[in-house]
Structure 1
Amino acid sequence: MEQFILFGDSITQQSASQAKGFGWTPALQDTYIRRLDVVNRGFSGYNTTQALSVLDRVLPTPEQGRIRLMTIFLGANDARLPNTPGFSQTVDLEQYKKNMTDIVNHPKLQAHKPQLILLTPPPIEERKALAHDQSNGINVMRRTASNTAKYAEAVRQIGQEFGIPVLDVWAAFMKEAGWKEGEPLPGSSEIEQNKALADMLHDGLHLNPEGYEIIYRELMKLITEKLPEHAPDNMPYVLPSWDDATAWK
C-alpha cells in the first residue's frame, strides 16, 4: 500500500481519537480503505524545529513504502507568545517560515515525490485557552488570535511560493464563525465571545469534533477539485474485489 501521512502536532495526534466523537484520522482511513494506508504522525507539543529534527526518523524510505500524499499541519505551538510560562515552544515567524521550507524540501521526503498539502494553524479562542492554562496554574495569556493569524498567513505564502495546495483551516473556521475581512478577529478576548468558534475548540487550541469535521470536509473538497487523481473515487483498490472473476483466474 502507498501511504497518506498526516504530519503535525497535537491537533493531528488527537485527530486519531474518537473519545469526543468524529475523528479526522479514522474518517480518512475509512475513505481511503484498500487504496492508501493513512498514517498518523502527529506529535503533541511539537513546534516546527522539533518536527524538522525528527522527520528523518518518522518517514519510510521509498523502498519501505511510498508516500503518495502528506499533510503538514504545524504552527499552533510555534505561535505561542515568547517568554511565557512553561517549556518554550515559541518559534519566531521568520524561523517558522524557514523550518516549514526545510520540511517541504527535506531530501527523504522529496525522494518520494509526494503530493504535499499544507494546513494553516486554526484560530485561537483566547478566553478558553487562558481558562485552560489557569486550570494548570498558569495565569498569563500564552496565545493570541492575532499572533496565530500571522502564522496562518505564512503558510499561505509558502504554499504560493512552492506551488503547494493549502488547506486554509484558519479561514474555514473564520467563515464558520461568520467573520468578514476588516472585522475584529473572533477568538480575541477584546470582543464578545463567538459561540461558533468556541464550539470548534474545546480548550481554545485543540479541536472538538465540529472542527475536525470542517477539516475533513475541506480536505476532501480540495483533493476532489484540485488533485482529482488522488481522490478515492478515482483510485482503484490495491487488491481485487472478491468477486472480480477476471482477477482471480
Structure 2
Amino acid sequence: MALNYDKIVLFGDSITERAYDISTAPFCIGPALQNIYTRRFDVIQRGFGGYTSAHAKLMIDKIIAQENTPTSKVKLMTVFFGTNDSTGPSSTIQHVPLDIYTANMRYIANSCKAADIKVVFIGAGPFNAHQWWITRPENPHNRTTIQARTYCDAAISLAKELEIPCVPMWYLIMEAIGWKEGDPLTGLEELDPDESLAAYFTDGIHYNQNSYKLEYDGIMNAIKEFYPELLPENVPLRLPEWAALTTPDVLEKAL
C-alpha cells in the first residue's frame, strides 16, 4: 500500500499531449507538476492531439475506470478541451458547436464528481493566425482567436455554474502581452503580425514555456483557492524521510 500513489491526471488535446516535451518548451506543465508533487502524487498525462470534447466525453468514464483502482485514486483532473472544438463549422472532423461543447464538458465534470475527483477546467488559449499559417500554409483558414475566446468564455461560465475552478488561458496570455479590452484583437489574420503574442507559442496554437508557465501558475492558484487540501504541503510524503530510517525496521513498518 505504501508505494501505491494517488494521482493527478492531465486530460486534454495536443497541448496536453506535449506537456512533457522539453525539446520545444524548456518549462512544461507535466515535469513542473511531477516535481512539486514528488513522493506525493503521480502525475499522469492523457493528452490526445486533435481531439475535442466530443471525443473526451466518450473517453472519460474509461479513463476513470482505468486510473481509479482499489489501491490508488485520481485526486485531481485537469480538463483542457476547446482549442479544436472552436474550429469553424467547415471543419467537419473537429468543430463542436458551442452548446454541445458545454454539454460535453458538463458530462466530464459530473463523471469526475461521481468518482470523487476534483476538477480544474482549462479554457482555450488565443490563436495567432500569422504564426499558424506560416508553418501550415496548406491548412484551411477555419480558426480565429475570436472563436477561441468564445469557447474559453463557455468553460469559464460552466465552471462558475458548477462551482469548480477554470484557468482562462485566453485571458491569461492576452493579459501577459499587455492587451486590454478595446484594443485591436492581436492574433487576427487581417491585422499585422504581433511578436509579443508569438512569444507564447511554438506555432500559433501549441504552447511554449511562457504559456505553460501561465497554465502551471493558474492550476496551482486554482488548487490553492478551491482544493487547498491538495496543495503539496498538505499531502503527506510517501515513506519516511531518510533521517528517520534509524533502523531497518522503520522502513519495514512503513511498507
What is the TM-score when the length of structure 2 is the normalising length? 0.89
Residue aligned with 1:192, SS:
coil
After the TM superposition, which of the residue ranges 143-152 and 237-246 deviates more from structure 2?
Answer: 237-246
Counterpart for residue 119 of structure 1: 122
* Paired-residue identity, %: 33
Pairing of 1:170-249 with structure 2 (within 5 A) = 170-244=170-244, 248=250
Counterpart for residue 142 of structure 1: 142
Unaligned runs of at least 5 residues, structure 1: none
Q: How many residues align?
A: 242
Letter in 2 for 1:65: S
1:76 and 2:83 matched: yes
Shift of 1:35: 0.5
Counterpart for residue 56 of structure 1: 61
Residue aligned with 2:136, SS:
helix
Shift of 1:190: 2.6
Letter in 1 for 2:120: I
Pairing of 1:22-171 with structure 2 (within 5 A) = 22-59=27-64, 60-63=67-70, 65-84=72-91, 88-106=93-111, 109-134=112-137, 137-138=138-139, 140-171=140-171
Q: Deviations for 1:113-143, whole angstroms, at most 9, x for unmatched residues? A: 1211111011100111222321xx33x3121
Unaligned runs of at least 5 residues, structure 2: none
8 Å Cα contact 1:62-1:112 kept in structure 2: no
Q: Distance in 1 between matches of 2:132 and 2:31?
A: 26
Residue aligned with 2:157, SS:
helix
Counterpart for residue 23 of structure 2: 19
Q: Distance in 2 between matches of 1:8 and 1:131?
A: 25
Q: Distance in 2 between matches of 1:7 and 1:57?
A: 12
After the TM superposition, which of the residue ranges 24-33 and 60-69 deviates more from structure 2?
Answer: 60-69
Q: Distance in 1 between matches of 2:230 and 2:196?
A: 32
Residue aligned with 1:16, SS:
coil
Residue aligned with 1:221, SS:
helix
Shift of 1:98: 0.6
Letter in 2 for 1:157: S
After the TM superposition, which of the residue ranges 1-10 and 13-22 deviates more from structure 2?
Answer: 13-22
Shift of 1:110: 3.0
After the TM superposition, which of the residue ranges 28-37 and 12-21 deviates more from structure 2?
Answer: 12-21
Assess, with a 3 A threshold, how the Cα gap between structure 1 residues 130 and 202 changes in structure 2: closer, same or farther. same
Q: Distance in 1 between matches of 2:107 and 2:222?
A: 24
Shift of 1:188: 1.2
Residue aligned with 2:156, SS:
helix
Letter in 2 for 1:156: I
Residue aligned with 2:45, SS:
strand
Residue aligned with 2:161, SS:
helix
Q: Which of 9, 18, 41 pairs up with 1:5?
A: 9
Shift of 1:62: 4.6
Letter in 1 for 2:6: E
RMSD of aligned C-alpha atoms?
A: 1.8
Q: Distance in 2 between matches of 1:168 and 1:147?
A: 14
